[in-house]
Amino acid sequence: MDQNKISRREALGAVAAVAATGIAGLSRAEEPTINTAQSQPEKIKQSVCQWCYGGMSIKDLCSKAKKMGYQSVELLSENDWKTVSDAGLVCAVANGPTSIGYGWNNPKDHDKFVAGSERLIPLVAAAGIPQMIVFSGNRRGMPDAEGLKNCADGLRRIMPIAEKHGVTVIMELLNSKVDHKDYMCDHTEWGVELCKQVGSDRFKLLYDIYHMQIMEGDVIRTIEKHHQYIGHYHTGGNPGRAEIDETQELNYRRIVQAIVDTGFKGYLGQEFIPRKDAMTSLEAAYKLCRI
């Protein structure tokens, strides 16, 4: 802890001590200087993507992340939601019925995904989880315009139940250049058009900063232009999806400030794969993005 800072608890303790010893009437020059930065509300909520720490139990990850200041552990299936809740955290994003390779762009799977969503969304809402993730699926030779229509047709079928229960369905933007070859929802403009065609405030995008840096760059301008269609953000250092530190090309503190400036009230999920000590890197990422 910075020796020049004092926590809210320590400040209250200091005041109590003064009262107990009967000291009164301190001049302004004699009053203790209290740094209140730690007691100020944070302007963005931070989350941890559990899959990046697969060697650690969810319970242990929750405990360590909470001590750092994180408010969520995310991308979890229903068997793990209670563990997070019991730790006093939120699961910011629940896993949905689709997978990266097989998603809403194939109408043959729509009935299955609709049934899965109709089962999951009420459970997600009851668990206090605000969002459920879905994917477009891979192209497999399908034109983007056809895939766009197919995704919109399928997703519109689950919007009534998402709206009823107050759960936002988010589709992740992923890169098809390095990590997810052939994935369809790989450009922000395509995702924004999908949002428009679905036509519900309960459908938005998961803007993964790492992935979109690879596909498009121009991250801050894109966020400023399309923030109303974005329900969640992910981090990751490029190149390599490692720590978001001086080893990579993005200025995450400036990016997070741009997100905050849009009025965003949701979660920023840390989704980098640590190459150094995992918990040290996770804490450093929290501090870097704390605005």
The domain spans of the chain are 1-39, 40-289
CATH of domain 40-289: 3.20.20.150
- Give the alpha-carbon dihedral of 135, 273, 83, 55, to 10 degrees: 120
* Residue tagged 């250049």 (tokens): 177
Q: What is the pLDDT of residue 18?
A: 35
* Residue tagged 């139940």 (tokens): 161
Instruction: Collect the ranges in the chain with pLDDT lower than 50.
Output: 1-38
Q: What is the pLDDT of residue 40?
A: 64
Q: What is the pLDDT of residue 44?
A: 96
Q: Which residues pair with 269 in a beta bridge?
A: 47, 234
**Residue from 197, 195, 118, 131 nearest 160 by CA:** 118
Alpha helices in 108-235 (DSSP H): 110-126, 144-165, 188-198, 209-215, 219-226
DSSP string, 57-126: -HHHHHHHHHHHT--EEESB-HHHHHHHHHTT-B-SEEE-S--SSS-TT-GGGHHHHHHHHHHHHHHHHH
What does pTM read for this prediction? 0.86
**What are the pLDDT digits (tens) for 100-156?**
999 999 999 999 999 999 999 999 999 999 999 999 999 999 999 999 999 999 999
